[in-house]
Chains A and B, each alone.
Chain A
Amino acid sequence: NAGVTQTPKFRILKIGQSMTLQCTQDMNHNYMYWYRQDPGMGLKLIYYSVGAGITDKGEVPNGYNVSRSTTEDFPLRLELAAPSQTSVYFCASRNERVSSYEQYFGPGTRLTVT
């Protein structure tokens, strides 16, 4: 299993541009999450999904959108990039069906908005 994969690894955007951060997991996990990590701060939850077709907002959803059309994929969309969205973004997944609290994280996408 590749686990949780994220693309791209790095990206520089200009203010106002849009992009999609890709996240894929091959472990058949039902729960998936998007976090952002700012320097010196703890991770913050942006959006999460408990299964295909179901998404919900986390702590910091403004400026982002998500979709979950399949179990494997959970893309994060930035519509109008702003400097405040400069951060490292992590996708994670969890198999809630085995009553495990364990979340498995991807390697992250480092985004800079200038």
Chain B
Amino acid sequence: KNQVEQSPQSLIILEGKNCTLQCNYTVSPFSNLRWYKQDTGRGPVSLTIMTFSENTKSNGRYTATLDADTKQSSLHITASQLSDSASYICVVSASEYGNKLVFGAGTILRVKS
């Protein structure tokens, strides 16, 4: 069964600290892996999209890694800010058409001052 598992479920860190969120998947075939940020009461916003051949991608303070062999990805947030408080969702696509996306349940991050 195609699944995306994220850990931890939730995380609290101090402003300015770094953190790493994990994503393990069993989706096959594999087209691409995405990380989204979802603020409370809003729709998800894309942070990074990686295909099979990419093993790291950055977007400002966000850096995603992908190990397609072990089917693992991580999202590293550097120098966290209060505005980073959100749910971070890992999504794996089994198709380039976007109709076979498997969403993880998300990691809820809270950054406190």
Rounded to whole angstroms, the CA-CA distance of A69 and B76 in the bound complex is: 42
The size of the chain A interface, using a CB distance under 8 A, is 25
Chain A residues near B99 (CB, 8 Å)?
A: 33, 45, 48, 56, 58
Task: Verify if A52 is at the interface (C-beta below 8 Å from B).
Answer: no
Asked whether A96 lies within 8 Å of B97 as measured between CB atoms, the reply is yes
Task: Verify if B96 is at the interface (C-beta below 8 Å from A).
Answer: yes
Asked whether B41 lies within 8 Å of A41 as measured between CB atoms, the reply is no
Choose from B31, B44, B105 the contact partner of A40 (Cβ within 8 Å).
B105
Asked whether B102 lies within 8 Å of A42 as measured between CB atoms, the reply is yes
Which range contains the number of B residues in contact with the other chain? Answer: 20 to 34
Q: Given the known inter-chain contacts A31-B97, A50-B97, A58-B99, please indicate yes or no for A102 contacting B4, CB distance below 8 A.
A: no
Asked whether B43 lies within 8 Å of A90 as measured between CB atoms, the reply is yes
Asked whether A42 lies within 8 Å of B46 as measured between CB atoms, the reply is no
Query: Contacts A94-B98, A101-B98 given; 8 further ones with Cβ under 8 A?
Result: A31-B97, A42-B103, A42-B104, A43-B103, A45-B99, A45-B101, A105-B44, A106-B43
**Interface pairs (11), CB distance under 8 Å:** A4-B43, A33-B98, A42-B91, A42-B103, A42-B104, A42-B106, A43-B103, A96-B98, A101-B31, A105-B43, A107-B43
